[in-house]
């Protein structure tokens, strides 16, 4: 057995965490031989609910869970972390302007970024889920200057999985038969789900999605809007936001960070845009296609220090360019608003 790793989940009394924690504890994310110390953070009024979650995790009798710590204190929660999954955020309330939502979340993620900087390992991997995820992630990173920017990522894997699923449903195959879809940009309704480079396995042979579907108008129209608006559609039907699918996407995202991406496949992840070759401005937290590999032979031997890299050299057509620029513009505006609040928070 390896040494235990410390994994934090914030918003741990919420519905996404409730769908997520069992998968972390049973080895589905970090492997069946990796013991875990699971740290659960939530706000003080939720501590009663969190005690119930703690009891349930104990009652699961999971052999990999070496300890479970429930707390409302950042100095306890962020100490010596290997992985931080920041699910908790201020939800948008009725009548709330987007700038008010940004302001409330800047305060939360500035504080959590500072706690990461002060208490966590410098090698910590930080995954931001709480919305607006891209800008919250950038805020946390800016507030943790001693932790490499590349260690911060935000969740667009749910959008990626939604895109895969829509293509699979249309073609009558499983989602596993579809690979290399891309989510560009913001985890918002301006995101751009792109299947120009995606492949699908049909009758044992890999073909391009455009070639397989032969329905360009659907791929440029209904498919894009369905993925962009899927979260709102779930809320309308369920009267609650996505939880089970969000938890599954978090597991996929973190597992790829931990173990790397399969050969020949890339995934979507919100990462720092610095040095990209797709004309996206630097210093944005923007979703790109990435691969995750070991840095060197020594890292392979010791099974550590995987890093993400942009997938380079994908041709971008005019339709894609326009969509990619639109979501970059929204992220730039979000960033500017957030940074105004950040300097005064």
Encode the chain (345 residues) as per-residue pLDDT tens digits. Answer: 689 999 999 999 999 999 999 999 999 999 999 999 999 999 999 999 999 999 999 999 999 999 999 999 999 999 999 999 999 999 877 777 777 888 999 999 999 999 999 999 999 999 999 999 999 999 999 999 999 999 999 999 999 999 999 999 999 999 999 999 999 999 999 999 999 999 999 999 999 999 999 999 999 999 999 999 999 999 999 998 999 999 999 999 999 999 999 999 999 999 999 999 999 999 999 999 999 997 654 454 455 568 999 999 999 999 999 999 999 999 999 999 999 988 876
d(CA 217, CA 210): 10
d(CA 133, CA 145): 19
d(CA 80, CA 37): 11
pLDDT of residue 177: 98
Q: For residue 178, list its beta bridge partners.
A: 200
pLDDT of residue 295: 63
Q: What is the CA radius of gyration of the chain?
A: 20
pLDDT of residue 301: 46
Under DSSP, is residue 327 helix (H, G, I), strand (E, B) or coil?
helix
pLDDT of residue 194: 98
> Buried (b) or exposed (e) across 104-122, using 16+ Cβ within 10 A?
bbbebbbebbbbbbebbbe
The pair of structure tokens assigned to 21 is 């924690």
pLDDT digits (tens, 9 = 90+) for 313-337: 999 999 999 999 999 999 999 999 9
Q: Report in angstroms the alpha-carbon separations of 336 from 106, 127, 272.
A: 12, 22, 16
Among 320, 341, 284, smallest CA distance to 194 is for 320
pLDDT of residue 345: 63
Provide the whole-model pTM: 0.95
The pair of structure tokens assigned to 240 is 């609650």
Under DSSP, is residue 9 helix (H, G, I), strand (E, B) or coil?
strand
pLDDT of residue 305: 67
Which residues are known to be catalytic? 187
Q: Report in angstroms the alpha-carbon separations of 263 from 133, 252, 256, 260, 295.
A: 28, 16, 12, 9, 15
Cβ atoms 293, 270 nearer than 8 A? no
d(CA 87, CA 307): 22
pLDDT of residue 112: 98
């Amino acid at each position: 057995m390896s040494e235990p790793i410390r994994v934090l989940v914030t918003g741990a009394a919420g519905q996404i965490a409730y769908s997520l924690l069992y998968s972390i504890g049973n080895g589905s994310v970090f492997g069946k031989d990796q013991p875990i110390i699971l740290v659960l953070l939530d706000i003080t009024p939720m501590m009663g609910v969190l005690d119930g979650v703690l009891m349930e995790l104990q009652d699961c009798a999971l052999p990999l869970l070496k300890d479970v710590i429930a707390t409302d204190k950042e100095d306890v929660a962020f100490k010596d972390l290997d992985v931080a999954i920041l699910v908790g955020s201020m939800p948008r309330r009725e009548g709330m302007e987007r700038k008010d939502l940004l302001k409330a979340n800047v305060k939360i993620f500035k504080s959590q970024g500072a706690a990461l900087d002060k208490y966590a390992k410098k090698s910590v991997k930080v995954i931001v889920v709480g919305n607006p995820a891209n800008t919250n992630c950038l805020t946390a990173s800016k507030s943790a200057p001693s932790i490499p920017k590349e260690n911060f990522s935000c969740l667009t894997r749910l959008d990626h999985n939604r895109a895969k699923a829509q293509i699979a449903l249309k073609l009558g195959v499983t989602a596993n038969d579809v690979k290399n879809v891309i989510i560009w940009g913001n985890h918002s309704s301006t995101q751009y789900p792109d299947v120009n480079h995606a492949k699908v396995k049909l009758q044992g042979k890999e073909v391009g999605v455009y070639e397989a579907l032969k329905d360009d108008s659907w791929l440029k129209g209904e498919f894009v809007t369905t993925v962009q608006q899927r979260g709102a559609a779930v809320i309308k039907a369920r009267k609650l936001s996505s939880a089970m699918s969000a938890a599954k996407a978090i597991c996929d995202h973190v597992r790829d960070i931990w173990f790397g991406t399969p050969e020949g496949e890339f995934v979507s992840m919100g990462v720092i845009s610095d040095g990209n070759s797709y004309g996206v401005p630097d210093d944005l937290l923007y979703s790109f296609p990435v691969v995750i590999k070991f840095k060197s032979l020594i890292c392979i031997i010791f099974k550590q220090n995987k890093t993400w890299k942009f997938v380079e050299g994908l041709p971008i057509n005019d339709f894609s360019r326009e969509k990619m620029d639109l979501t970059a513009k929204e992220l730039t505006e979000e960033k500017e608003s957030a940074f105004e609040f950040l300097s005064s928070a």
